[in-house]
Copies of this chain bind each other. A is one copy, B any other.
Amino acid sequence: MKAERLDGKEVALKMTEEVSGKVKELKEKGIDPTLAIVRIGENPGDIAYEKGALKRAEKMGIEVKQFILPSDADEDEVVECIKQINDDDSIHGVLMFRPLPKHMDEAKICETLDPRKDVDGITSGSMAGVFMGTDRGYPPCTAEACIAILDHYGIDLEGKKVTVMGRSPVIGKPVAMLAMKRNATITVLHSRTGKENFAEAGRGADVVIAAIGKPKWIGKDQIGDDQIILDVGINVDENGKLCGDVDPAPAEERAKMLTPVPGGVGSVTTAILMKHVVQAADKILKNND
Contact = CB atoms under 8 A, between A and B. Distances in A.
Contact of A131 (B128, B183, B185): B128
A197 B173 contact: no
B159 A193 contact: yes
A183 B192 contact: yes
A131 B136 contact: no
A104 to B, nearest CB: 16
A266 to B, nearest CB: 23
B161 A197 contact: yes
Interface of A: 107, 124-125, 127-132, 134, 136, 158-159, 161, 167, 169, 173, 177, 180, 183, 185-190, 192-194, 197-198, 201
B127 A194 contact: no
Contacts of A167: 180
Contact of A127 (B124, B185, B186): B124
B158 A192 contact: yes
Contacts of A194: 159, 185
A139 B127 CA distance: 15
A132 B192 CA distance: 17
Nearest to A163: B187
B169 A132 contact: yes
A205 to B, nearest CB: 11
Contacts of A197: 159, 161, 185
A135 to B, nearest CB: 11
Most buried by B among A128, A186, A198: A128
B201 A190 contact: no
Given A158-B192, A188-B180, A197-B161, A173 B136 contact: no
